[in-house]
Amino acid sequence: MFLFLGAELLGGGEIAAMQARQHPFVGFDRGKLAAEDVVEHAGVVLRVGRAGGSAAPAAAAQRRRNDRRGGTEEEGALQDPAGRDSVRWHDDDRKPMSSERRRALGALADEVHGCRLCPRLVEWREAQAADPPRRYRGQDYWARPVSGFGDPDARMVLVGLAPAAHGANRTGRMFTGDRSGDWLYASLHRTGFANQPHSRWRDDGLELRDAYITATVRCAPPANKPTPEERDACLPYLERELRLLECRRVLVALGSFGWDGVLRAARALGEEVPRPRPKFGHGAEAEVGSRRLLGCYHPSQQNTFTGKLTAPMTDEIFARARELAE
């Protein structure tokens, strides 16, 4: 199914276009990130992890959840260890899905959730949960690595940078509970890849249709800047995820870090990567093996507030992805 996008779909003046600011892109092998990869909320003060800081024990967290039953859906959402409610699919009758693939993705998600390979990231993600901003106090943070989610038969796979400290690190689902996610899912809904335009918490009814969302790094990093070593420690998860997503035809990289991650994972999987390596850009396309890689500016507030990334620009990327996936 094709979705034809027009101005009427975006609503009257949904996003005001502002003067775009140009940011340099990151070289393929450099550790620093470009501005389009910044995903932290504006106004959220990042705190250096306190020595010995950690998330609340599971038993205490469960007691707090039980005490809060009857509160808001977000506050009362179950934080089950497997997070299987994050893996949703659509229209099984029309698109038969391999039960073996579903189980394999679930087993991989369990493995991701238990990972503690990077001490700096473990300390940071748990410190943010132990001392959250005032508006999130009293909520039970996920405070673990975040697995990918979506349709296991997806033909489009989105690859981002990493969870945000008070977004996915709080809610336990990629691009959920922050402004970047608000922007992303609104576009996915307009272009037919999601059943609703928002994603606030696990178990909020969100379903992805022919789409799967993941990231290069699975833990929230300080200042949204994973080190090269942390990136390399996480890459095998992305490689295994892509191997399981056998129906993928298009990979959409959100930002230069996601672009870099896709190329590295593809090479590790034995897929042909062009030489010279293709450069990231909004709307850039590259053939990677038998699949197409498509670049999109990251929906960070730095990009969306300045007009560097607009709603029509985002929709055009996903409309193009659908065209390539058909």
Check residue 98 and give its pLDDT: 59
Helix (H) / strand (E) containing 158: strand 156-160
When pLDDT is cut at 50, 70 and 90, the band that residue 122 belongs to is very high
Single out the residue of 257, 310, 300, 314 nearest to residue 20, CA to CA.
Answer: 310
pLDDT tens per residue across span 25-42: 333 333 444 433 433 333
Provide the pLDDT for residue 102: 84
Tokens matching residue 33: 């990130």
- pLDDT, tens digit, for every residue of 179-210? 999 999 999 999 999 999 999 998 899 999 99
CB-neighbour burial class of residue 4 (10 A; exposed 0-12, middle 13-18, buried 19+): exposed
Rounded mean pLDDT, 132-136: 95
| Identity of the amino acid at 22 | Q
Of the candidate CATH numbers 3.40.50.2300, 3.40.470.10, 3.40.640.10, 3.40.50.300, the domain formed by 35-44+105-325 belongs to: 3.40.470.10
99 pLDDT tier (thresholds 50, 70, 90): confident
222 pLDDT higher than 80: yes
**Its pTM surpasses 0.95:** no
Q: Break the chain into its structural domains and give their ranges.
A: 35-44+105-325
Q: So what's the pLDDT on residue 101?
A: 84
C-beta of residue 221 within 8 angstroms of C-beta of residue 76: no
Residue range 301-315, pLDDT digits in tens: 999 999 999 999 999
The arithmetic mean of pLDDT across residues 4-33, rounded, is 36
